Structure 1
Amino acid sequence: MANTLTSLHVHLVFSTKNREPWLRPEVEEDVWRYLGGICRTHEIKALQIGGVEDHVHLLLGIPPTLALSDVVRRIKGESSKWLSSEKAGFKGFAWQDGYGAFTVSQSHIPQTIRYMQSQREHHRKSTFVEEYRKFLHAHDIQVDEKYMFG
């Protein structure tokens, strides 16, 4: 085949360090926009970005030229640097060390976007830890809980 053609969509989830509530409603839009800008800079298609005070969700279309680990390193590294040095009140900000990445088929993109848009409502009933456990279970990922949030 002469061309490389892909449809690589990933639902990326990661929290603030120790799940501290840094991402308050008054700053979240700036954070989502900045994360989207990082994606554009690296030719990553951000289909949806959102979250709540202690974690973010990104639905990304990743080009075949980038490894997922590089995508995450760029997004977390560049945003952490910006937040801790440029945003008032964010000195000491950091993301958790790890992340969750779950593949999303083209047919499930609309429902994933709706899920991400309803995070505030969703988290009135469920904590981040409960939500994350459900993702792991749905994707048949086994993990020792003592290492889950390191």
Structure 2
Amino acid sequence: MSTHHGILLHVIFSTKYRKRYLAEHWQDELFGYIGGAVKDHKGSLLKAGGIEDHVHLLLRIHPEFAISKTLQLIKTNSSKWINEQRKIRGKFHWQRGYGAFSVSQSMADTVRKYIANQKEHHQQQTFETEYLECLKKHEIEYDPRYVFDMEIVT
């Protein structure tokens, strides 16, 4: 028997300290770059979206690569691209960690629409609230003290 796979993931990650760095006028370039990084791991970027402080990705990933390695590649390469292209002043970083949620093929269109409507969605809700709701929806236990990196200002 040959091997078949159709592993879909809804991935969410934010900028460090949720700083509003991802300007709308270059987000499509960023998502194109991310799509190329996903291809490097034999995957496909099916939908990308977000707002200034975070991104959502719908990915078809290849089982040859661990999810953590694919996301490490995406985050490392895209932050390097942002810095090399000088898209922001100073040094860009993503927040440590990410959310990766399995998606059934039957729900793929629903997730695509959700990702496409991020701008409207976040007129009503913060990233932090949205992310915690995703964790609850997927029944993922968490300690609220460690979900988000907090900037310490002295």
For the aligned residue pairs, the C-alpha RMSD in angstroms reads 1.1
Paired AA for residue 27 in structure 2: E
In 2, distance between residues paired with 1:73 and 1:121? 29
- Change in 2 beyond 3 A, CA 1:59/1:90: farther
Q: Is the 8 A contact 1:9 1:104 kept in 2?
A: yes
Paired AA for residue 84 in structure 2: S
- Change in 2 beyond 3 A, CA 1:53/1:88: closer
Alignment of 1:98-109 (within 5 A): 98-109=97-108
TM-score, scaled relative to structure 2: 0.93
In 1, distance between residues paired with 2:6 and 2:89? 36
* Cα displacement string for residues 81-103 of structure 1 (whole angstroms, at most 9, x for unaligned residues): 11112234353100000100000
Task: Please state how far the C-alpha of 1:27 moved relative to its aligned partner.
Answer: 1.5
| Residue of structure 2 in register with 1:82 after alignment | 81
| Residue of structure 1 in register with 2:30 after alignment | 31
- Is 1:113 aligned with 2:76? no
Q: Is the 8 A contact 2:41 2:62 kept in 1?
A: no
Paired AA for residue 53 in structure 2: D
- Change in 2 beyond 3 A, CA 1:122/1:71: same
In 2, distance between residues paired with 1:3 and 1:81? 38
Alignment of 1:1-150 (within 5 A): 2-150=1-149
Q: Is the 8 A contact 2:10 2:101 kept in 1?
A: yes
TM-score, scaled relative to structure 1: 0.95
In 1, distance between residues paired with 2:86 and 2:113? 29
Between the aligned residues of both structures, percent identity stands at: 40
For structure 2, the 5+ residue unaligned runs are 150-154
* Cα displacement string for residues 99-128 of structure 1 (whole angstroms, at most 9, x for unaligned residues): 000000000000100000000000000000
In 1, distance between residues paired with 2:9 and 2:16? 22
- Change in 2 beyond 3 A, CA 1:90/1:35: farther
